[in-house]
Amino acid sequence: QKKEAAYTIGFSQCVESDAWRKTMLEGMKRELTFHPNINFIYRQADGNSQKQVSQVKELLQKKIDLLIISPNEADPLTPVVEEAFSKGIPVIVVDRKISTPLYTAYVGGDNYAIGKMAGEYALHWLNGKGKIIEITGLPKSSPAMERHKGFTDALKNYPAIQIIHQVNGEWLNQTAKKEFAAIAPQYPDVNLVFAHNDMMAHGVYEVYKNSSHPQPAIIGVDGLPNAGMQFIAGKEITATMLYPTGGEEAIRIALKVLNKQDYVKENLLQTTVIDSTNVRIMELQAAKAISQQQQIERQLGMLKEQQRIYNNQRTFVYILVTS
């Protein structure tokens, strides 16, 4: 087999502390095990847009061949991405978007569709009538804008449904919990809360858990097996919209671009609703995928070992022949 050319990929991640981002990175690393010649440089910005700008600049100085980025907020990261792109460095944008068409490819879940699905779920759940509180992610990050737009579009022809309040939870469990706890007493009649991710949805659940007030329906987004799915199985939240991380896909597209193969510019990943009716099967599927993954890793390990033994034997034969 022909050896793949050696390239350096730089990955600029907006934040890394949560399970969803960790899953994304694991997906990338897993895909990279098939490409041992790729050098991977990773930086994460602790949710700070300025820090992310300087990290991207640092990556560019390191002469990366391709940039993968999940931008914290769209506008602050746009100039540096444009700079990279105009220098001829291909840019793959993952999950959160930037405000320019100057990038090579995008991969991520369809956030407008996710917002719309959440809205339709809410409509159904409330039978077309009720009061909703929305907890958004960082308002200047594209998934928050798109999830909000999809959600409100789904509800716009239903005047008996009202979004009575909006809170900025910054994508964080703690912020959502604190902000929601501060306003919850003003809205004892809220019927449903839509949080833009499961961590914030769980924050809302935590507020009610410690109060005697009955809990409204809570919808989140992400659906990770070790988070959202568990929250649903434990009846802590009502539903979540699956939001795949796109980690593996980002590396696959990056390799196509680097190896000058055909690729698609806009890559939207599939989503689905998870609630008590299908959470069990979703959990089983996720467990199956993990065990298959572990098997592949074991096989890769065995292959490497065989290769090592083969190389040793070759050296040995060579010594025998030449001595």
118 makes contact with ligand FRU (CB under 6 A):
no
From candidates 31, 65, 73, 95, binder to ligand FRU by CB under 6 A: 95
**Interacting positions 10-39 with ligand FRU (CB under 6 A):** 15, 18, 20-21
* Least Å from the CB of residue 15 to ligand FRU: 5
CA 231 to chain centre: 18
**Which CB, 46 or 305, lies closer to ligand FRU?**
46
Pattern 198-227, binding to ligand FRU, x per CB under 6 A?
Answer: -x---------------------xx-----
Token pair, residue 21, equals 């981002």
171 makes contact with ligand FRU (CB under 6 A):
yes
Stretch that binds ligand FRU, among 121-129, 137-145, 207-215, 234-242 (CB under 6 A): 137-145
Pairing of β 266-269 and β 217-222: unpaired
**Which CB, 56 or 199, lies closer to ligand FRU?**
199
Largest CA distance in the chain: 91
Say if CB 218 and CB 204 are below 8 A apart: yes
Report how far apart the first and last C-alpha atoms of the chain are (Å, whole number).
Answer: 30
Distance CA 196, CA 137 (A): 6
**Which CB, 51 or 256, lies closer to ligand FRU?**
51
Kindly list the distances between the CA atom of residue 89 and the CA atoms of 10, 32, 57, 81, 134, in Å, as whole numbers in the listed order. 10, 20, 12, 9, 39
Footprint on this chain of ligand FRU (rule: CB under 6 A) = 15, 18, 20-21, 95-96, 137, 141, 143, 171, 197, 199, 221-222, 243
